[in-house]
């Protein structure tokens, strides 16, 4: 078994993103149609079982391998916490309970202030500390009423996770003209990797949060998610083609891309822009400070939709999907079966298409997609429209529940949530 896992990990690390998507999307060869039915049925069943086995093993390995690859690339910036989660090396986040606690924290030997960070729009204020992460327990004991945690790093999930590419020079400009017939009142946001210029997004008004270096850093995952939300080209159409998109790049091609403070900055910017529905196809561990930022955004009326992740049905819940009030989304295949790699649990609110669909790629083409990352934006788009029609988050959620097709156990369950929505939104290649 260890040998099989090692081989699969090596294969996944060595494949390009499109090739990985092909493998995960059913890359096993088709059976000749001329074979007798009595032979093909068992063979097809065996092939499907093999696909499911590859799916179940490949996705968790791929995510962990991505973390290992990031640490190898940035050994001075990244590390793992005692639980094996990806963190920014030698950094802690602190929300002291009062000024006296703040003074005690900053007076500790081995602790230095990196940044006194104000998250305008969320009314949050915390400290980034340079410190040995072994000091976390000491900080918590010193100020039990405060909140202290690692600077965890959150990763995009799905078949295109981590596959970044620069957009072609010819596509460097993005039109800000909304598509004809689009409803200008519809606005939706995302916190993800950067969004590339692409023909499917050329008629979309995209507002971007600026990276610190002032440059754009387009990448595969964010581009695909954006296209599922608002894209349109030929036969390809996202759930809200032509709607206004607010895109916060939480990575910016930085070594600490996807860190708590970068994700929180994205949420704060979206709150300042008064974006009501936000998609977060990111996954990671629980974190006290990011949970505080999510709660602050929700308190200001933001409805957050998140992928439940692809670490398998036995994996612990992933965040932000598992935090209270976040709409967790799982993925199903074309036969309305849950993806075998999808997370399960009370965090699952809805299911949506998560395989056999296409999205824009950062090189100007299209790529096959698979994973809960790509089911989540379909639900986010449906909710953005429902909020505009129904007038409140609660009414929009109730409307979506009422429209869901119940799958699995009757009523809400830990596999499909309230059921399947957006079955007709499975995107096609142009």
- 302 and 164 both lie in a single domain: yes
Same structural domain, 253 and 314: yes
CATH number at residue 167: 3.40.50.200
Task: Decide if pLDDT at 369 tops 50.
Answer: yes
Same domain, 164 and 240: yes
Are 234 and 350 in a shared domain?
yes
Whether 340 is covered by a domain: the verdict is yes
pLDDT tens readout for residues 260-305: 999 999 999 999 999 999 999 999 999 999 999 999 999 999 999 9
**Torsion angle in degrees (nearest 10) through CA of 413, 414, 418, 420:** -110
What are the tokens at 256?
């600490």
Tell me whether residue 359 is in a domain: yes
Summarize pLDDT for 372-387 with one digit per residue, the tens: 999 999 999 999 999 9
Please tell me whether residues 25 and 111 are part of one structural domain: no
Q: Assess whether 137 and 43 both reside in one domain.
A: no
Per-residue confidence at 64, pLDDT binned at 50, 70, 90? confident
Same domain membership, residue 245 and residue 146: no
Pick from 24, 41, 73: which residue ends a domain? 73
Answer yes or no: is 336 within a domain: yes
Q: Are residues 115 and 63 in the same domain?
A: no
Q: Are 181 and 240 in contact (CB under 8 A)?
A: no
For residue 125, the domain's CATH number is 3.30.70
pLDDT tens digits, residue range 68-88? 999 999 999 999 999 999 999
CB 15 within 8 A of CB 23: yes
Distance CA 139, CA 102 (A): 10
N- to C-terminal Cα separation, the chain: 41
Domain boundary among 53, 73, 93: 73
pLDDT digits (tens, 9 = 90+) for 4-47: 333 333 323 333 333 332 323 333 222 333 434 444 454 445 44
- Residue 414: which domain range? 156-425
| Same domain for 383 and 333 | yes
Residue ending a domain, choose from 152, 182, 209: 152
Please write the tens of the pLDDT for every residue from 93-137. 999 999 999 999 999 999 999 999 999 999 999 999 999 999 999
Q: Are residues 209 and 334 in the same domain?
A: yes
430, part of any domain: no
Residue reference for tokens 């995952």: 221
In total, the chain counts a number of residues equal to 430
Give this prediction's pTM.
0.83
pLDDT tens per residue across span 43-60 = 445 444 434 433 433 344
In this structure, are 297 and 218 located in the same domain? Answer: yes
327 found inside a domain: yes
State phi, psi for 45 to the nearest 5 degrees.
-65, -45
> Is residue 96, in this structure, part of any structural domain at all?
yes
Q: Are residues 132 and 85 in the same domain?
A: yes
Residue 62 located in a structural domain: yes
* Domain assignment present for 178: yes
Q: How many domains does the chain have?
A: 3
């Amino acid at each position: 078994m260890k040998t099989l896992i090692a081989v699969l990990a090596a294969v996944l690390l060595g494949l390009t993103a499109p090739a990985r998507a092909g493998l995960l999307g059913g890359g096993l060869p088709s059976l000749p149609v001329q074979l007798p039915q009595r032979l093909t049925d068992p063979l097809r069943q065996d092939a499907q079982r093999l696909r499911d086995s590859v799916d179940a093993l490949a996705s968790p390995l791929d995510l962990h391998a991505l973390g290992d690859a990031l640490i190898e690339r940035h050994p001075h910036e990244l590390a793992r916490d005692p639980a094996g989660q990806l963190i920014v090396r030698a950094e802690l986040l602190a929300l002291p309970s009062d000024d006296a606690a703040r003074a005690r924290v900053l007076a500790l030997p081995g602790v230095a202030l990196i940044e006194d960070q104000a998250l305008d729009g969320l009314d949050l204020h915390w400290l980034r500390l340079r410190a040995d992460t072994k000091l976390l327990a000491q900080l918590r004991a010193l100020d039990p009423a405060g909140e202290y945690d690692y600077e965890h790093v959150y990763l995009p999930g799905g078949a295109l996770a981590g596959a970044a590419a620069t957009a072609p020079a010819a596509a460097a400009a993005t039109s800000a003209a909304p598509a004809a017939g689009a409803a200008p009142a519809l606005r939706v946001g995302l916190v993800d990797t950067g969004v590339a210029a692409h023909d499917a997004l050329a008629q979309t008004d995209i507002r971007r949060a600026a990276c610190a270096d002032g440059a754009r850093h387009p990448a595969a995952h964010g581009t695909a998610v954006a296209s599922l939300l608002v894209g349109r080209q030929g036969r390809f159409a996202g759930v809200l083609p032509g709607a206004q998109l607010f895109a916060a790049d939480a990575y910016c091609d930085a070594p600490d891309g996807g860190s708590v403070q970068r994700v929180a900055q994205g949420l704060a910017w979206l709150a300042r822009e008064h974006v009501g529905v936000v998609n977060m196809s990111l996954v990671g561990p629980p974190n006290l400070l990011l949970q505080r930022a999510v709660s602050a955004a929700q308190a200001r009326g933001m409805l957050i939709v998140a992928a439940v992740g692809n670490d398998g049905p036995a994996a612990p819940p992933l965040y932000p999907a598992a935090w209270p009030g976040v709409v967790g989304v799982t993925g199903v295949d074309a036969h309305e079966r849950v993806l075998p790699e999808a997370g399960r649990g009370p965090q699952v609110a809805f299911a949506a298409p998560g395989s056999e669909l296409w999205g824009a790629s950062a090189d100007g083409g299209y790529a096959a997609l698979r994973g809960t990352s790509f089911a989540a934006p379909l639900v986010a788009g449906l909710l953005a429209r429902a909020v505009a029609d129904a007038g409140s988050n609660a009414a929009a959620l109730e409307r979506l529940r009422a429209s869901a097709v119940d799958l699995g156990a009757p009523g809400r369950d830990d596999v499909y949530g309230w059921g399947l929505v957006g079955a007709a939104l499975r995107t096609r290649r142009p």
